[in-house]
Every structure is written in structure tokens, then in C-alpha cells.
Amino acid sequence: MTPEEILELVTKITEINDTSAFMNDENLDLALAYVVKLAVNPDIPYATAMRLIVQLQALSNIFSIKRRALMTISDDRSAESSKRKNVYSTVADDLDKLVAALKYYAK
């Protein structure tokens, strides 16, 4: 890796840590850990890809449910609640894209 690539990776990891600290959600931490591991080592065995597809899609569904709950059920209309909703929405969408890539990889 070039020094620029290393700096970019460190910056992304710092952003991931900041997101994790803000959200304080174990499921989100797990999803982010998978993303970092895949970014560092994208060459994974077929069986691992199959397991990750199921786990990441399940996590995506959990985040979608949490987002909907924040939008519809929660009485909290604060800026923090809105930020949480946006993070859940973004992570769910991005996990769906990652699952699609893993499905393509596993073919």
C-alpha cells in the first residue's frame, strides 16, 4: 500500500469508530467490523461468503426496522434521533449493496 492509501484507510477507520461511538449499538459494531475485515482482506472462501451473505442481510433488516421505529414509533424528534435514523438507513442500504456484491462473488 502506498502512504496515501494507508492514510485514507486510517481516516475511514476513524470515521467508523466515530460512528460506532455515536450510535452505541452492538449490531452496528458487528456490521462495521465485517466491513472493515472485508476491506482489508476481500479474498474470502466460498463458505465464508455464504455465511456473511446471511448475516449481513439480517443485520441490514435489523437496521431498517430500527430506522422505521425511529421514524414512526419514537416520540423523540431531536436532531440526534434524526441522525441515528439516517445512519441506520445508510448502513442498511450499503449492507444490501455489499450482500449483492458477495452474491456475485460467490457465483
pLDDT band at 77 (very low <50, low <70, confident <90, very high): confident
Single pTM value for the model = 0.86
pLDDT attached to residue 1: 66
pLDDT attached to residue 3: 80
Task: Write down the mean pLDDT value for the chain.
Answer: 91
Please state the domain extents for the chain: 3-106
pLDDT tens sequence across 2-52: 788 777 877 888 888 999 999 999 999 999 999 988 988 889 999 999 999
Residue 26 has which C-alpha cell? 452492538
Does 95 have pLDDT greater than 70?
A: yes
The 10 Å Cβ neighbour count of residue 66 is: 22
